[in-house]
């Protein structure tokens, strides 16, 4: 987490209004985590602080799947752990921010508990829609939990944390995300997808999928190119570990951030080059086939 958190925080500060003050609150269990390059961030940005709030053992033994640990559940306690604020933005650390968040935080939430980005595949794929219905969430209105505008005051008033916790021991396929969509059903407002753009959204935009682009799931309030100006959520492969879409964007942010370490940067790419050099012939052939069969097909569709 430490490196990802350092880059994530740096990107918020680099893209945000320099006249604002940023209060970062890290939710954790066990020992207090460290943030790579934190001293360098603090030297460059005086308009910020980092606090730590422990969830204790509230989610010890919680259901884990697909390599996603129980840390995914920590956001469920945000209304309780952050009593000093009426609203807050929650973000996973595997994000790079290119948008200022001030206007989003100032948005009127009415009687909604959360603002979130639609989970595209969960709302259009028949088997996913069936699953959403089976857990008691609303088919066609299922949201991602990796980036949330939180109406903390209203959630505290309506005792939402207790309702979250009543589901926390259950084995949901999408863990905390399912819990949020069940408990806050019909009280989640849609925010533009560019605030937390995942791989699937980048694919839709880059391939000009008009049907999806014209749907409610990808509404936008800006005419700027989302491929260039959106926030990026690496909710699959992580760019500091492996190859993935938008890897170059994460590393560019890293290079510009106070946490930049040229030794780590160059070693990562040297290691990847060594890996490619050591691939057996059959794997190299598979890579070429993937590009010339699937890669060219996608390029022709542009």
CA distances from 157 to 54, 145, 152, 236, 289 (A): 22, 21, 9, 35, 57
User: How much helix, strand and coil, in percent to the nearest 5, is found in the chain?
Assistant: 45, 15, 40
Burial of 177 (0-12, 13-18, 19+ CB in 10 A): buried
Report DSSP letters for 91-127, one per residue.
E-SSEE--S--HHHHTS--TT-SEEEEE-HHHHHSHH
What's the confidence (pLDDT) of residue 275?
63
Q: pLDDT tier at 287 (50, 70, 90 boundaries)?
A: low
Query: Please, what is the average pLDDT of the chain?
Result: 92
In this predicted structure, the answer to whether residue 293 has a pLDDT above a threshold of 70 is no
pLDDT in tens, 219-263: 888 889 999 999 999 999 999 998 899 999 999 999 999 999 999
The pLDDT, as a whole number, for residue 94 is 97
> Rounded to the nearest 5°, which phi and psi values hold at 66?
55, 30
| CA distance linking residue 6 with residue 40, whole number of Å | 10
Q: Residues near 258 by Cβ (< 8 Å), separated by ≥ 6? A: 10, 37, 40, 41, 43, 44, 45
The highest-level CATH class for domain 2-260 is alpha beta
Task: Write out the DSSP string of 158-196.
Answer: TTHHHHHHTTTTS--TTHHHHHHHHHTTT-EEE--GGGS
pLDDT tops 70 at residue 7 = yes
Residue with tokens 């959360």: 114
**What does the DSSP 8-state code read for residue 136?**
T
User: Residue 297 — very low, low, confident or very high, per pLDDT cuts 50/70/90?
Assistant: very low
* pLDDT value, residue 29: 94
User: Taking the domains of the chain in order of start, what are their residue ranges?
Assistant: 2-260, 271-302
pLDDT band of 299, cuts 50, 70, 90: very low
pLDDT recorded at residue 22: 98
pTM recorded for the entire structure: 0.89
Quick: pLDDT tens for 139-152.
999 999 999 999 99
Looking at residue 97, its pLDDT comes to: 98
Tens digits of residue pLDDT in 118-132: 999 999 999 999 999
Instruction: Please tell me the predicted confidence (pLDDT) of residue 269.
Output: 83
Q: Does residue 272 surpass a pLDDT of 80? A: no
Q: For 10-24, 35-49, 57-71, 176-190, which range has the lowest pLDDT when averaged over its residues?
A: 57-71
pLDDT computed for residue 64 by the predictor:
83
Give the span between the Cα atoms of 176 and 55, in whole angstroms. 15
Instruction: Note the Cα 100 to chain centre separation in Å.
Output: 16
């Amino acid at each position: 987490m430490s490196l990802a958190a350092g880059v994530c925080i740096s990107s918020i500060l680099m893209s945000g209004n320099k006249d604002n003050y940023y209060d970062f609150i890290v939710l954790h269990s066990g020992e207090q985590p460290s943030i790579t390059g934190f001293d360098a961030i603090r030297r460059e940005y005086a308009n910020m602080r980092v606090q730590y709030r422990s969830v204790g053992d509230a989610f010890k033994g919680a259901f884990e799947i697909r390599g996603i640990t129980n840390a995914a559940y920590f956001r469920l306690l945000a209304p309780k752990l952050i009593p000093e604020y009426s609203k807050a933005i929650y973000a996973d650390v595997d994000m790079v921010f290119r948008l200022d968040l001030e206007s989003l935080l100032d948005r009127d939430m009415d009687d909604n508990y959360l603002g979130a980005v639609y989970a595209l595949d969960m709302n259009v794929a028949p088997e996913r829609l069936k699953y959403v219905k089976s857990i008691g969430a609303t088919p066609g209105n299922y949201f991602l939990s990796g980036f949330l505008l939180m109406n903390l005051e209203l959630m505290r008033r309506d005792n939402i944390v207790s309702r979250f916790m009543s589901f926390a021991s259950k084995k949901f396929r999408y863990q905390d995300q399912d819990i949020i969509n069940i408990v806050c059903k019909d009280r989640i407002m849609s925010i533009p997808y560019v605030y937390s753009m995942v791989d699937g959204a980048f694919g839709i935009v880059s391939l000009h999928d008009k049907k999806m682009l014209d749907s409610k799931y990808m509404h936008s309030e800006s005419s700027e190119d989302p491929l260039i100006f959106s926030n990026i959520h690496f909710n699959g492969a992580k760019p500091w570990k492996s190859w993935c879409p938008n890897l170059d964007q994460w590393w560019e942010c890293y290079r510009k951030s106070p946490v930049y370490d040229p030794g780590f940067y160059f070693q990562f790419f040297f290691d990847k080059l060594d890996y490619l050099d050591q691939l057996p012939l059959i794997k190299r052939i598979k890579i070429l086939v993937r590009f010339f069969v699937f890669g060219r097909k996608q390029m022709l569709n542009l």
